[in-house]
Amino acid sequence: MQIHVVRLEKADDVNLILGQAHFIKTVEDLHEALVGAVPGIRFGLAFNEASAPALVRRSGTDPALTDQAAALAQAIGAGHAFLILLGNAFPINVLNAVKAVPEVCRIFCATANPVEVLVGETEQGRGVLGVIDGMRTQGVETEQDAADRRALLRKFGYKA
């Protein structure tokens, strides 16, 4: 087996969700879940088909994000992997809807951080082994760091 590292290049303000699903119906069901979760959402999604014709299936409401999701999914090249790029929403706004789609098996990450996907390749094909999400831990938060974290959550309206 060979292990490849696939860096997911995207704009800093774009969030992504990388997961695994199991059926071609995933593309339409994820699309419906996303538009139902956030009115006016801008997104692109791509799903790697795992059997013939083994195409990158795609959909979205933003053509540029859809094209970018398809290109990144093709670079990953792992069957049944899906990638969602979010333009005006955060994963927290859609993640429960995504996880509720019956075809979804797992979520590898949901983030705005830089992501590297660890892909294993055998003679049969490719599979996602895991992800590197963001940077290495730098230390333990101080009391001031904790106060800043609480203030940020309240500023964004996630806590009262």
For residue 6, give the 3-state DSSP assignment.
strand
In tens, the pLDDT along 13-35 reads 999 999 999 998 999 999 999 99
Of 111, 52, 106, 108, nearest in space to 86 by CA? 111
- In this prediction the pTM is 0.93
43-48 and 56-60 as β-strands: parallel, antiparallel, unpaired? antiparallel
What residues does 117 pair with on adjacent strands?
6, 131
| Per-domain boundaries in the chain | 2-155
Strand order through the sheet with 56-60: 56-60, 43-48, 81-86, 15-21, 104-111
At 68, the amino acid letter reads Q
What pLDDT is recorded for position 157?
Answer: 87
Residue of 160 and 97 predicted with greater confidence: 97
In tens, the pLDDT along 30-61 reads 999 999 999 999 999 999 999 999 999 999 99
CB 13 within 8 A of CB 112: yes
CB 18 within 8 A of CB 83: yes
Q: What is the CATH number of domain 2-155?
A: 3.40.1520.10
Helix, strand and coil percent figures for the chain, each rounded to 5: 30, 35, 35
Other CB atoms within a 10 A radius of the CB of residue 74 amount to 14
Residue 158 in this model has a pLDDT that exceeds 90: no
Q: Considering the chain, what percentage of its residues have pLDDT values greater than 70?
A: 100
Helix residue spans in 77-112 (DSSP H): 91-99
